[in-house]
Amino acid sequence: MGALDGKTAIITGGGSGIGFAIAERFVREGAQVVIAGRRQERLDAAVAQLGRGARAVQTDVADEAQIKRLIDSVSSLDLLVTCAGGAVFGPVEQVQTKAWRELFDGRFFGQLSACHYAVPKMKPGSSIMFCSGIAGHAALANYAGGAGLCGAVNAMGRSLAIELAPKGIRVNVLSPGLTRDTAIDWGVPPEAVPGFLAGLSNNIPMKRPGTVGDMADAAFFLATCAYATGMVLDIDGGWTAV
Ligand SMILES: NC(=O)c1ccc[n+]([C@@H]2O[C@H](COP(=O)([O-])OP(=O)(O)OC[C@H]3O[C@@H](n4cnc5c(N)ncnc54)[C@H](OP(=O)(O)O)[C@@H]3O)[C@@H](O)[C@H]2O)c1
């Protein structure tokens, strides 16, 4: 018996990184999982690894019609996990406003519109988990738009937790710290990534990046703890405690 036997989960961004680790964990616990992302090859590879009835719906979460099609692909939904999206790094005078708008299209409006279509399909006992990032709490240079995005997602999660509590739907936000083994574009050449991550790790009391498995542990907790709602859970090796 798994803790998620009989549950249906949709996981955006489930083709790689944090979303894929959450999909693996949910499948292992017995859930039927639908993953979503833009690249079909990435989704196909992920589904092949997940096995056990996992399937994929190719989706750009910045496109509301595609979000609707994704949610329409299930008859009911117990767990909505929205991890899709990237990041935009760079000095404020260099990054174009268009890049920040695109970030919000996917990572803010993508998460909000997924809720818009999912909530009518969710029974009492269901749960929603958004994904933000510690930039919503910890000031990071060269990440102004991302910081604003993370703060907005945190506020959205708390607001929806209050709104949806009477329906028996819990809403929480996973706020990852620096996490390795993901496909995220750090804005540095591939060969510079290890040094880049090592430099950032100096800010972390535990002196290491998190793993996608650390994030999946937190997502599993938020999916199963029946009294957890309205939380922004920083999983960050102590970064935001300093
Ligand atoms: N890694 C970290 O240190 C860190 C820290 C804080 C927050 N986060 C956040 O955690 C979330 C997961 O990221 P990750 O680190 O696991 O990186 P990742 O491996 O790049 O995962 C992001 C996934 O989202 C998908 N995606 C991106 N834009 C999309 C869109 N418009 N529509 C649908 N799918 C989209 C990507 O697949 P396609 O490109 O195929 O669509 C990819 O599979 C992101 O929101 C990220 O910003 C990460």
Ligand 1 near 178 CB (within 6 A): yes
Angstrom distance (rounded) from CA 133 to CA 152: 11
Residue 193's pLDDT band (boundaries 50, 70, 90)?
A: confident
- Ligand 1 atom closest to the Cα of residue 87 is 47
What is the CA(141)–ligand 1 centre distance, in A? 20
Q: The domain 8-241: what is its CATH number? A: 3.40.50.720
The pLDDT value recorded for residue 20 is 98
Out of 10, 16, 233, give the residue to mutate to test ligand 1, the one with the largest number of ligand atoms within 8 Å of its CB: 16
The pLDDT value recorded for residue 115 is 98
Residue 92 has pLDDT above 90, yes or no: yes
| Residues 90, 92, 95, 97, Cα dihedral to 10° | 140
Ligand 1 near 83 CB (within 6 A): yes
Q: Which residues pair with 234 in a beta bridge?
A: 175
Per-residue pLDDT of 108-150, as tens digits, reads 999 999 999 999 999 999 999 999 999 999 999 999 999 999 9
Give me the residue spans of the domains in the chain.
8-241
Residue 190 has pLDDT above 90, yes or no: no
Flag whether the pTM goes above 0.95. yes
**Per-state percent for the chain, helix, strand, coil, to nearest 5:** 45, 15, 40
Residue 196 has pLDDT above 90, yes or no: no
Weakest-pLDDT range from 33-47, 75-89, 120-134, 174-188: 174-188
What is the CA(131)–ligand 1 centre distance, in A? 10
What is the CA(224)–ligand 1 centre distance, in A? 23
Query: Quick check: 178 and 204 in contact, CB under 8 A?
Result: yes
Closest C-alpha residue for ligand 1 atom 23 = 13
